């Protein structure tokens, strides 16, 4: 299960997503990108469904 943490960069809030606690390359983003993700969530879901190789191999 992914790990979700809040952090800060130069005084700005960040959301950090990690696959594991030892994840060397976490995915992090701030408010602007979070709003963009929310705005286009359905498009992101469609993209994953279309391109998810793990799902199609099952």
Domain ranges for the chain, please list them: 3-57
pLDDT tens digit sequence for 2-56? 999 999 999 999 999 999 999 999 999 999 999 999 999 999 999 999 999 877 6
Q: 36, 45 in Cβ contact below 8 A?
A: no
Closest Cα partner for 25 from 33, 13, 17?
Answer: 17
Confidence of residue 1 (pLDDT cuts 50, 70, 90): confident
For residue 20, the model assigns a pLDDT of 95
For residue 6, the model assigns a pLDDT of 97
The answer to whether residue 58 scores a pLDDT higher than 70 is no
For residue 56, the model assigns a pLDDT of 63
């Amino acid at each position: 299960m992914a790990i979700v943490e809040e952090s800060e960069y130069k005084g700005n809030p960040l959301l950090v997503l990690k696959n594991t606690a030892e994840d060397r390359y976490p995915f992090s983003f701030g408010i602007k990108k979070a709003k963009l993700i929310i705005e286009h969530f359905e498009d992101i879901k469609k993209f994953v469904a279309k391109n998810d190789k793990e799902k199609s191999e099952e």
